[in-house]
Amino acid sequence: MNSYEFTIVATGLPIDNDDWLDRFYEAGCDDALVGLQRGLFVLEFDREANTLIEAVESAHADVRRAGATIVRIEPDSLVSASDIAERAEVSRQAVSLYVNGERGEGFPTPVACVSGLRPLWKWSEVAAWLHAAGKIDHSIVEMAQLLDRLNAEAHSDNRPARAEVLAPVVVESEYVTTEFYTRRKIDRPKLRVEPPRGAARHRQGFDLRRTVSAQQMVQ
């Protein structure tokens, strides 16, 4: 069983007391570092599961079981050229060649900030292109599609009249390297929480992960 890291941003629970801590914990989010940031709950999961998809979907269900409304699941679905280079483990120069059509054809067009200095692409489209070019494995494409689907469902849930659930994800296999999605907490910065006014006690994130005593470790 592997450990996978990802972030779920949620809302929909009262923040004027600490009841939301118990609700997340009792719903199964005891493997998350959770805090308040700009009025939103930010849950950084470090979840054990057989696959990345199983980890994300189970955490998605746990957050909803707590009564919260999911805003989005990260890593972000919109990426810059630098983000593409990092996720695909290629050079920034190689990405520039892809974008300009100098290496391969049909690279996706930006979907945001097109006229700016830092255009953004939809990661699921880029991942599909990179897979077709033999640069990444299918699993990264499936993860991108999974996040698109779950985020679309969350967006639909927040509408007054909910649309039908989207079609399921299409593909999956083992990614060549899982460091992008599977990083140790020790290698990541602590979650910076910005509390709402009048709630200074929430200045830091709350670690809902279970602690193991010295006696338990000996046993």
Q: What is the pLDDT of residues 81-138, one digit of tens each?
A: 999 999 999 999 999 999 999 998 999 999 999 888 899 999 999 999 999 999 999 9
The least confident of 69-83, 86-100, 139-153 is 139-153
Residue 182 predicted with pLDDT over 50:
no
pTM beyond cutoff 0.75: no
Whole-number percent of the chain with pLDDT over 70: 70
In the structure, what pLDDT confidence band is assigned to residue 186 with cuts at 50, 70 and 90? Answer: very low
- Confidence at 10, pLDDT banded by 50, 70, 90: very high
- Strands, E, within the chain: which ranges? 2-11, 32-37, 40-49, 69-74, 78-79, 121-122, 206-207
* Contact yes or no for 209/44 (Cβ under 8 A): no
Place of tokens 């280079």: 85
Residue 204 has pLDDT above 90, yes or no: no
Residue 196, pLDDT > 70, answer no
- At residue 215, does pLDDT exceed 70? no
Q: In the prediction, which pLDDT does 46 show?
A: 93
Instruction: Tell me the average pLDDT across 14-34.
Output: 90
**Average pLDDT rounded to a whole number, residues 9-32:** 91
Average pLDDT, the chain: 77
- pLDDT at position 91 is 95
Confidence of residue 211 (pLDDT cuts 50, 70, 90): low
Instruction: Give strand pairing partners of 35.
Output: 42
